[in-house]
């Protein structure tokens, strides 16, 4: 993409309404624009990051064997009357009446709708286990929408629903989700710690939230600092193997880590004092096992091997896709702007032409652009007739991991400058070396 033809409305001034870094930076970098309280348009740069996060979530869900689909945003109230949640959900639910006077709602979540689909089509244990998921906009009329996309009213969520014959099988599905979520967050350059939590309006007793540690997080968390040393890394994951999934889940949930809703001071005090941590975190996902809470009242039954009709065991599992954009920035920025992890960056590399209009510099930038594109990367070329300082400030603000700077003086010596956004370190090298260095950083993930 050439910046002269792109739509990147960066703001010079820091917007007054933004109280945390991620909100400020998303507005300044021209990623989002508020349409109404807690409701945002995703401008091109923000949309690119949202799509990359969504893509990682799709890939990891499908790697775990989960099946993508798409349900609507607007749902009939009658389904929610069957589960009993139409009244229980309260004022957070946006209720709508259509022209025929029918009660509808903008979905805050989809347990009822998926249970209705299940009961219409599945009646035998032979069709289990089944995990269906979608990534779709949700609406919750939060009392205090704030911090930009972090606590929105309209927000983008991946929500998956599991159907199993027994509690044990449903717990395998729970653990499988736990593992696939850990892997997704790691690919986004984030550490999200699973913490025992409360289930709220979704229900059930078994639930974990995934928290990214950040001072600006809305949740108070209590944990053993040793949990922050555990990583999945590149290990092979056998998603169909219940024992293997359980082992990974236990490894990550064995140590004390809880939100304030389930905090137990006596247990906390058993942690060696030097490892006790009280901090704040951003909730980027939550998994639930709630058994037959929806299947029983809604009649989602299967016939088991003994010929009996039994309610199916269910769980639901969510990732806050739009919130993650803010959470990643909260975890990765400096005074100059965003520092994107390579896994989610909107463009793989920036190209800065120090002397636009200089034939040699222009040609070298064009050649770099072609070579990077040819290597499967998406560069952003700042080809505007701006001074160098302004170009650097924009690149730093939007946070691309790598920048190649091209100027007539370097070109005379046959070199360009490659700069790492995170460390600020620069190195001179030939244009070919810069391209292969950047391409090497992205390995198999380019274009993803």
Q: Collect all residues with Cβ–Cβ distance below 8 Å to 86 and sequence separation of at least 6.
A: 77, 80, 93, 105
Window 266-325: residues binding ligand P5A (CB under 6 A)? 283-286, 288, 316-318, 320, 322-323
Q: How far apart are CA 11 and CA 422, in angstroms?
A: 22
List the x/- string, 30-49, binding to ligand P5A by CB under 6 A: --------------------
- Nearer CB in complex with ligand P5A: 151/348: 151
Strand 402-406 to strand 349-353: parallel, antiparallel, or no bridges (unpaired)?
Answer: parallel
109 binds ligand P5A (CB under 6 A): yes
Distance between CA atoms of residues 16 and 36, nearest Å:
16
- Asked if 106 is part of the footprint of ligand P5A (rule: CB under 6 A), the reply reads no
Residue placing its CB nearer to ligand P5A in the complex, 155 or 185: 155
Of the pair 116, 283, the CB lying nearest ligand P5A is at: 283
- Nearest CA among 305, 293, 167, 183 for reference residue 237: 183
Question: Least distance to ligand P5A from the beta carbon of 354, Å?
Answer: 41
- For residue 329, state whether it binds ligand P5A (rule: CB under 6 A): no
Cβ burial 287-316 (10 Å sphere, 16+ → b, else e):
bbbbbbbbbeebebbbeeeeeeebbbbbbb
| Residue 202 binds ligand P5A, judged by CB under 6 A | yes
Residue placing its CB nearer to ligand P5A in the complex, 185 or 442: 185
CB of 281 to ligand P5A, least distance (A): 11
Single residue of 159, 164, 186, 342 touching ligand P5A by CB under 6 A: 159
Task: Select 60 or 396, whichever has its Cβ closest to ligand P5A.
Answer: 60
When the beta carbons of 200 and 414 are compared against ligand P5A, the nearer one is 200
- Residue from 376, 430, 426 nearest 402 by CA: 426
From 155, 256, 289, 294, residue interacting with ligand P5A (rule: CB under 6 A): 155
Q: Beta 276-291 vs 94-97: how paired, if at all?
A: unpaired
Other beta carbons within 10 angstroms of residue 72's beta carbon come to 12
Cα 234 to chain centroid, rounded: 20
The 3-state DSSP class for residue 78 equals helix
Site residues (vs ligand P5A, CB under 6 A): 109, 140, 142, 151-152, 155, 157, 159, 202, 283-286, 288, 316-318, 320, 322-323
């Amino acid at each position: 993409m050439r910046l002269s033809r792109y739509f990147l409305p960066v703001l010079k001034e820091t917007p007054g309404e933004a109280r945390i870094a991620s909100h400020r930076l998303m507005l300044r970098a021209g990623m989002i624009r508020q349409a109404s309280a807690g409701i945002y348009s995703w401008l091109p740069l923000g949309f690119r990051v949202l799509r990359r996060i969504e893509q990682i979530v799709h890939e990891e869900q499908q790697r775990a064997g989960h099946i993508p689909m798409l349900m609507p945003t607007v749902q009939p109230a009658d389904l929610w009357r069957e589960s009993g949640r139409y009244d229980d959900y309260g004022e957070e639910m946006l209720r709508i009446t259509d022209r025929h006077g029918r009660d509808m709602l903008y979905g805050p979540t989809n347990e009822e709708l998926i249970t209705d689909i299940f009961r219409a089509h599945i009646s035998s244990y032979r069709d289990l286990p089944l995990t269906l998921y979608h990534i779709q906009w949700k609406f919750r009329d939060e009392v205090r929408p704030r911090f930009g996309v972090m606590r929105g009213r309209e927000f983008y969520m991946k929500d998956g629903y599991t159907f199993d014959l027994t509690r044990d099988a449903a717990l395998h599905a729970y653990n499988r989700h736990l593992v696939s979520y850990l892997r997704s967050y790691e690919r986004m350059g984030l550490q999200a710690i699973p913490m025992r939590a409360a289930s709220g309006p979704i229900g059930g007793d078994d639930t974990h939230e995934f928290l990214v540690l950040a001072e600006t997080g809305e949740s108070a968390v209590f944990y053993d600092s040793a949990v922050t040393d555990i990583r999945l890394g590149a290990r092979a994951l056998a998603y169909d193997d219940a024992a293997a999934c359980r082992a990974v889940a236990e490894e990550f949930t064995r140590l004390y880590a809880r939100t304030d809703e389930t905090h137990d001071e006596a247990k906390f005090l058993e942690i060696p004092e030097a490892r006790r941590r009280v901090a704040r975190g951003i909730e980027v996902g939550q998994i639930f096992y709630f058994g037959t809470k929806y299947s029983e009242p809604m009649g989602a039954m299967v016939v088991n091997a003994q010929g009996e009709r039994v309610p199916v065991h269910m769980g639901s599992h969510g990732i806050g896709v739009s919130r993650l954009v803010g959470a990643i920035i909260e975890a990765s920025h400096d005074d100059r702007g965003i520092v994107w992890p390579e896994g989610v960056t909107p463009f793989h590399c920036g190209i800065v032409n120090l002397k636009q209009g200089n034939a040699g510099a222009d040609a070298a930038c064009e050649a770099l652009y072609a070579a990077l594109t040819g290597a499967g990367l998406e560069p952003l070329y700042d080809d505007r007739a701006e001074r160098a300082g302004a170009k650097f400030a924009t690149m730093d603000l939007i946070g691309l991991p790598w920048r190649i700077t091209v100027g007539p003086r370097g070109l005379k010596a046959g070199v360009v400058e490659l700069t790492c956004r995170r460390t600020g370190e620069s190195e001179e090298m030939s244009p070919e070396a810069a391209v292969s260095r950047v391409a090497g950083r992205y390995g198999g993930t380019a274009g993803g």
